[in-house]
Structure 1
Amino acid sequence: MRLSSSNTFAWCSGFSLWFMVLAVTSVLLGALSKSSLCLFCLVGNRYQISSTVPLIGNGNPPVIAYWISSTNGEKYEKILRLLKAIYHPRNQYLLQLDADSSDYERKQLALYVQSQGVFRTFDNVNVVGQSYGINHMGSSSLAATLHAAALLLKLSADWDWFIALSASDYPLMPQDDLLHALTSLPRNLNFIHFTNKTGWKEQKCIEKIVIDPTIHLQNSTPIRTLRVLNYSSHKRREIPDSFDIFGGSSWGILTRDLMEYCVQGWDNFPRYLLMYLNNVVYPLNYYFHTIICNSPEFQNSLVDSDLSFTEWNLTASGETQVLNMSHFDQMLASGAAFARSFHTGNQLLNRIDESVLHRSSKELVPGKWCRGEGRRVRVENSSTADHEEQLCPTWGNINDVKPGSGGIKLAALLTDLVVEGRLATSHCREHW
């Protein structure tokens, strides 16, 4: 099988992920061809904007760039289920199976994407071909996040927000709801939770020097601690005095401007911070927070919420708890847009599909654009017809969104967060 050059990216095996960490500005990987959609369609003697092209700018729904990744060899079916649950033709999607997954699964994932008429038409779902290991505790996770953002910026510069999801995440509302809630807000807001903790444990977490072997090796490998450099006063790593370290959750909804700054790094700070956090456990808990609070252009962009629901009663291994049916009412009452984490086959996922998203396992989430009227998909050749599902047989204008009660409530909540002054530099004044 041949993987389409316009929808599959291969990370050159001759370059290590370590090089990507140290030279993130070169991660754009050269020219990536993209077939363009027809921007205008001839109707009579006049041209009209096609309903298959996202309208951008104020007053129009935003465009979200999603990176969906799997770790520890998670099956590609988990990514596909999440993709169907969050798909909207306005958005951009980058799917990535880590190196612990097989080449067969990567090809099956790409084959499925290429076989679906709706994905071919809107040309907004792409698959990373040859992958690398990702350890969510180490610097390889931060490097992979920046790499994904760089690819999405290369694919399209017209998106507004970047959202990184794992295959174990799931939405708590349709995309129409989320797009509606974000439509009336300024496109320069970063939604990320900041911690108020300033204790010695957080200080030691920064000072503790660890090595993420996944940076050097192909597959995910456990973190190693340099015990000889433990916490004695004369051997610990010093906290920098040129900037303050800030932390919080590793998840968020981040602006395109922030991601461009981190990837392209037109001054030295993003690169310097990247190298400083290279030997810190959970660097995603510090990197974007520190960038925001030490950069004047981003300090007033913070909304102290990542719009996600997580059960923070940690397990014995230090992981967040897997959600189950007992969390259903609490999740919906939280008003969050996403929740984590779920296991494959979790009954709670089925209930979310049925009661919240109103989708079957073989369909996309219905919305204003996918509503049973409009243009019908035509299967173009027999090579893809055998794999095609009727994800959305017909659709209308993709620039129209129709929110439900969840989207209306989220829009009111986000407006209140801004009006009540939680959008401020006050979070950046709280540091260790």
Structure 2
Amino acid sequence: MERRVQPVIVDAGIYLAGRNQFFQSTEKRATPDGFKFFTGSPWVILNRRFIEYCIFGWENLPRTLLMYFTNVMLPLEGYFHSVACNSDFRNFTVNNDLRYVAWDDPPQMEPRFLNITHYEEIVESGVPFARKFREKEYLLDRIDEKILQRWRHRPVPGAWCTGRKRWFSDPCSQWSNVNIVRPGPQAEKFRRYMDRILEESKSSNSSCAQ
């Protein structure tokens, strides 16, 4: 962990108009002993109460960590994690970024690109997100067609678009009560997936493990 937080990283793009590469200072800083550092996925879901705490920070921890993470490599992989796990929110974290990712063995710096061979695994997993995709990947078209039942160049059908599919008329010229959302089969898989990871989180104390 010290190798990630002790080097001082400067992103020149903060104060220059053009996009520039960051650079690292020759000096390093000592690791603070007033809090611990935690890292994880850069994709996080944050509730309103936690965001209010990060903004107002009644005991100044969020601001202190924000100043420190300003000069850390990949701050999105540590800031919110460190704030949560050094505060009263430590018991309300779930160690899961809700993404389907295909890694090489051993893992490389970036996951593999997903393609049509991953379709069945993605569908069965129940996760709502996945990465990463190439541009114009056929797998995305398959998901649109089979899971979302999305018509070509049209929005996903629902209460906001209830007309019949005809080549000469716009199905979205008719709609019903958009406040009523009925879950489909994939939404039910997602519900079971969420129930499982929440149950696992309750029975585990490792969400804030370093």
TM interval, shorter chain, is 0.7 to 0.9
Shift of 1:285: 0.7
Give the equivalent residue in structure 1 for 2:146: 355
Amino acid of the structure 1 residue aligned with 2:82: T
Give the equivalent residue in structure 2 for 1:372: 162
Say which structure, 1 or 2, has more relative contact order (CA 8 Å, 6+ apart): 1
Cα separation, partners in 2 of 1:254 and 1:423, compared to 1, 3 Å: farther
- Gaps spanning 5+ residues in structure 1: where? 1-201, 230-235, 374-389
Q: Is residue 3 of structure 2 the alignment partner of residue 211 of structure 1?
A: no
Which residue, out of 315, 329, 346, partners 2:120?
Answer: 329
Give the equivalent residue in structure 2 for 1:339: 130
Higher strand share: 1
Structure 2 residue matching 1:210: 3-state secondary structure: strand
Amino acid of the structure 2 residue aligned with 1:210: I
TM-score, with structure 2 as normaliser: 0.84
Q: Is residue 57 of structure 2 the alignment partner of residue 258 of structure 1?
A: no
Comparing 354-363 and 317-326, the one that deviates more: 317-326
Q: How does 1:18-417 map to 2 (within 5 A)?
A: 202-226=1-25, 228-229=26-27, 236-296=28-88, 298-313=89-104, 318-367=109-158, 369-372=159-162, 392-417=172-197
* Counterparts of 2:120 and 2:95, CA distance in 1: 23
* Counterparts of 1:301 and 1:309, CA distance in 2: 23
Comparing 339-348 and 246-255, the one that deviates more: 339-348
Cα separation, partners in 2 of 1:322 and 1:216, compared to 1, 3 Å: farther
TM-score, with structure 1 as normaliser: 0.43
Question: Would you say the 8 A contact 2:161–2:173 is kept in 1?
Answer: no
Cα separation, partners in 2 of 1:303 and 1:392, compared to 1, 3 Å: farther
Cα separation, partners in 2 of 1:416 and 1:325, compared to 1, 3 Å: closer
* Counterparts of 2:12 and 2:23, CA distance in 1: 8
- Gaps spanning 5+ residues in structure 2: where? 164-169
Aligned residues: 203
* Counterparts of 2:48 and 2:19, CA distance in 1: 29
Amino acid of the structure 2 residue aligned with 1:320: P
Structure 2 residue matching 1:251: 3-state secondary structure: coil
Shift of 1:391: 8.3
Question: Would you say the 8 A contact 1:363–1:391 is kept in 2?
Answer: no
Shift of 1:355: 1.4
* Counterparts of 1:219 and 1:398, CA distance in 2: 44
* Counterparts of 2:204 and 2:32, CA distance in 1: 21
Structure 2 residue matching 1:249: 3-state secondary structure: coil
Shift of 1:269: 1.3
* Counterparts of 1:282 and 1:331, CA distance in 2: 28
Amino acid of the structure 2 residue aligned with 1:223: F
Comparing 397-406 and 243-252, the one that deviates more: 397-406
Cα separation, partners in 2 of 1:221 and 1:395, compared to 1, 3 Å: farther
Cα separation, partners in 2 of 1:429 and 1:301, compared to 1, 3 Å: closer
Give the equivalent residue in structure 2 for 1:381: none
Give the equivalent residue in structure 1 for 2:205: 426
- Same amino acid, percent of matched pairs: 36
